[in-house]
Amino acid sequence: MSEERVALVTGGGGGIGSAICRALSEAGLRVAAADVDGNAARRTADEISGFGIEMDITDSASIAKSLAQIEIEVGGVDVLVNCAGWDEFMPFTKTDDAFVSKVLKINLAGPMNLTRAVLPGMVERKWGRLIHIASDAGRVGSSLEAVYSGAKGGIIAFSKTVAREMARNGITSNSVCPGPTDTPLLSKFTDSGEDSGKIGDALKRAVPMKRIGVPEDVAPAVVFLASEDAGYITGQTLSVSGGLTMA
């Protein structure tokens, strides 16, 4: 890839986000890692000689301030990876308004707002890659993740619509859907309660490849979709799930 391309990865301080940052940097892009935890973002950036910045994707003022700083330090955003996300496993009947609002803001409204903010620059340059880290929960549903599944399903539909609207501007928009992946969120679920071991084993048995994914499984899919070679691929949804879901 061209070293002139600039990639912004939200959730860049987390497991999947940091793996994506490392992979994009190795592919030759200049990478800005953004995270609501600014220290985590800067730790990732230090690993790859990139730029780390605190950004709250649920706050339009934070988005505007962060993008202005990224423009100064790194350049205009050519590749946006909407990776930031949040959830807690909970029966839908136990959710309340505050929980629903938080999940939707972080997983749906935030990525929408950030995408809208970077698109004018991409349109001006006639080149861009939008890559949304959705989830197989948004494709097939997931017990105890009703709101999260709805948000990720919304991101998939949003990505397809933006793909249609931006196709003539040299901008692609695609979704990557991880299956069960070894992240702190999954560990919190599988390591809790008396049946924690059984839950983890059941997940592994359900995956045809008989293992839980790792962040490094997701990153190569993002690198490909961010590349020059993926210029004719848009509006698509790619699962990285060891075969757990097949379209």
Sign of CA dihedral 95, 98, 101, 102: negative
DSSP state of 235: S
Verify that 96 and 202 share a domain, yes or no. no
Q: Mean pLDDT across the stretch 212-217?
A: 93
Cα 46 from chain centre: 20
Per-residue pLDDT for 57 more than 60?
A: yes
44 domain residue, yes or no = yes
115 domain residue, yes or no = yes
What does the mean pLDDT of the chain come to?
A: 93
Per-residue pLDDT for 194 more than 70?
A: no
CA proximity to 5, closest of 166, 168, 129: 129
Domain housing 143: 6-178+215-240
Pull the structure tokens for residue 232: 């004719």
Q: For residue range 126-180, what is the model confidence (pLDDT) as tens digits?
A: 999 999 999 999 999 999 999 999 999 999 999 999 999 999 999 999 999 999 8
Verify that 105 and 61 share a domain, yes or no. yes
Specify the pTM.
Answer: 0.93
Widest distance between CA atoms in the chain: 56
Verify that 225 and 169 share a domain, yes or no. yes
Verify that 149 and 201 share a domain, yes or no. no
Q: How far apart are CA 31 and CA 148, in angstroms?
A: 27
Q: For residue range 62-119, what is the model confidence (pLDDT) as tens digits?
A: 999 999 999 999 999 999 999 999 999 999 999 999 999 999 999 999 999 999 999 9
Q: How far apart are CA 206 and CA 208, in angstroms?
A: 6
Q: Is 55 exposed, middle or buried (0-12, 13-18, 19+ CB in 10 A)?
A: buried
pLDDT reported for residue 184: 74
Q: Is 83 exposed, middle or buried (0-12, 13-18, 19+ CB in 10 A)?
A: buried
Verify that 199 and 226 share a domain, yes or no. no
pLDDT reported for residue 182: 85
Verify that 136 and 192 share a domain, yes or no. no
Verify that 153 and 197 share a domain, yes or no. no
Per-residue pLDDT for 190 more than 70?
A: no
Residue pair 75/50 in contact by the 8 Å Cβ criterion:
no
Question: From the candidates 51, 127, 148, 189, which is the catalytic residue?
Answer: 148
Q: For residue range 223-236, what is the model confidence (pLDDT) as tens digits?
A: 999 999 999 999 99
Verify that 139 and 58 share a domain, yes or no. yes
Pull the structure tokens for residue 213: 């994914």
Query: How many distinct structural domains can be found in the chain?
Result: 2
* High-pLDDT (> 70) share of the chain, %: 93
Q: Is residue 21 very low, low, confident or very high in pLDDT (cuts 50, 70, 90)? A: very high
Q: Which residues pair with 172 in a beta bridge?
A: 129
Verify that 208 and 147 share a domain, yes or no. no
86 domain residue, yes or no = yes
Per-residue pLDDT for 12 more than 70?
A: yes
Q: Is residue 193 very low, low, confident or very high in pLDDT (cuts 50, 70, 90)? A: low
User: Would you call 148 a catalytic residue per the annotation?
Assistant: yes
Name the one residue in this structure whose structure tokens are 């946006």.
80
Per-residue pLDDT for 121 more than 90?
A: yes
